[in-house]
Chains A and B, each alone.
With several copies, the nearest count.
Chain A
Amino acid sequence: MAVRVQEEDFDIGRELAALTAGNHAIGGLGVFVGLVRDIAGGQSVSAMSLEHYPGMTERQLEEIEREAHARWPLDASLIIHRVGDLAPGDNIVLVACASAHRQAALDATGFLIDWLKTRAPFWKREDTPDGARWVDAREADDTAAARWG
């Protein structure tokens, strides 16, 4: 279990290799990577800035990760979330779960990103031709999180 909030980019290959290294009980690794899109809500986005609540962010991410381990038999998991100024195409978030079996790995990965999106205190501000705007929370994200009960 590991949680990191950082301004720097992450190296996906290196992070995943470290996550599974030496544990030959792992049969499946589920991964989700979120990236900055250059269009959102029909408007072009030239840059994005991510604000967060230091301290509470890490607590929430750790709590979400503990919940995933309580629900699925995971060998390892990782959440990395970037903050600060980002550009289209940049990595935002990496979520990964390793398990003996693929279904647990993939389900736990979906659960982590769904819960993160509704509980972890991050806020996105996008630069558009009409100026900067705070991204509105999406009802679809609440629905996605709710299906995990």
Chain B
Amino acid sequence: MKLMYFAWVRQRIGAASETVEAPAEAATVEGLVAWLKTRGPGYAEAFKDTRAIRYAVNQEYVEPTHPVASGDEVAFFPPVTGG
């Protein structure tokens, strides 16, 4: 599974992307977040307020309850501010 981080999520985690093998219990976006928070203080800091995070699976916006599978591209980022 490919994970991508943008803006301050990227900065707090200290990586733009990574390829992980998530455990079986991380079967949804929110399950994935719960697992990521255990991986280090940068992750914990990035995900401490998930109301400020938006999620995309395979480049489409999804809710936290959306399922994730091993071939997916899952992205985490703050609300967008372009334009």
Is B one of A's binding partners? Answer: yes
A124 within 8 A of B: yes
Contacts of A102 in B (CB 8 A): 83
Question: By DSSP majority rule, is chain A's interface helix, strand, loop, or mixed?
Answer: mixed
Beta-carbon contact of B83 and A134 below 8 Å: no
Give Cα A39–Cα B6 distance, bound, in whole angstroms: 24
Give Cα A134–Cα B79 distance, bound, in whole angstroms: 11
* Interface mask (B41-83 → A, CB under 8 Å = 1, otherwise 0): 0000000000000001001110000000000000101111111
The closest CB in chain A to the CB of B59 belongs to: A56
B4 within 8 A of A: yes
A119 within 8 A of B: yes
Please give the number of chain A residues whose Cβ is less than 8 angstroms from any Cβ of chain B in the complex: 29
CB-CB contacts below 8 Å: A71-88 with B: 81
A51 within 8 A of B: yes
Beta-carbon contact of A117 and B80 below 8 Å: yes
CB-CB contacts below 8 Å: A123-149 with B: 123-125, 134-138, 141
Beta-carbon contact of A123 and B77 below 8 Å: yes
Beta-carbon contact of B82 and A55 below 8 Å: no
Beta-carbon contact of A120 and B83 below 8 Å: yes
Contacts of B79 in A (CB 8 A): 118, 136-137
B43 → chain A, closest Cβ, in Å? 18
Give Cα A56–Cα B59 distance, bound, in whole angstroms: 5
Q: 6 A-B Cβ contacts within 8 A? A: A56-B59, A117-B81, A121-B77, A122-B83, A123-B81, A137-B80
State the B residues within 8 Å of A (CB).
4, 6-8, 10, 56, 59-61, 75, 77-83
State the A residues within 8 Å of B (CB).
34, 50-53, 55-56, 59, 81, 92-93, 102, 113, 116-125, 134-138, 141
